[in-house]
């Protein structure tokens, strides 16, 4: 999969060409005055590919170790779930 960077002006002028490249699996980063402001990505990217991109771009940080289960932060009294209480509170 290729990574492309394009300015917004060039993207406007050649949008069809960039859309075809995205359809072929490329990711296009859009810049304004040289600063990244957005990204066009294929919809059918596998989860593994999206996770690798998130790691590479710094959106997530992960050591690669298996995550350990955590104890719940909030507990409810009785048999109601937190989601049910939130819905009840919104009504």
Domain spanning 1-62: CATH 2.40.110.20: no
The model carries a pTM of 0.51
| pLDDT for position 79 | 77
For the chain, what is the HEC assignment? CCEEEEEHHHHHHCHHHHHHHHHCCCEEEEEECCEEEEEECCCCCCHHHHHHHHHHHCCCCCCCCCCCCCCCCCCCCCCCCHHHHHHHHHC
Decide if pLDDT at 67 tops 70. Answer: yes
| pLDDT for position 1 | 58
**pLDDT one-digit tens code per residue, 4-60:** 999 999 999 999 999 999 998 899 999 999 999 999 988 877 788 888 888 888 888
């Amino acid at each position: 999969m290729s990574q492309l960077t394009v300015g917004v002006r060039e993207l406007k002028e050649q949008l069809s060409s960039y859309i075809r490249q995205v359809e072929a699996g490329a990711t296009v980063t859009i810049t304004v005055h040289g600063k990244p402001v957005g990204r066009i990505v294929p919809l059918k990217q596998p989860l593994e590919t999206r996770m690798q991109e998130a790691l590479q771009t710094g959106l997530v940080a992960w050591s690669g170790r298996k995550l350990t289960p955590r104890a719940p932060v909030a507990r409810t009294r009785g048999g109601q779930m937190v989601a049910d209480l939130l819905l009840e509170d919104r009504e």
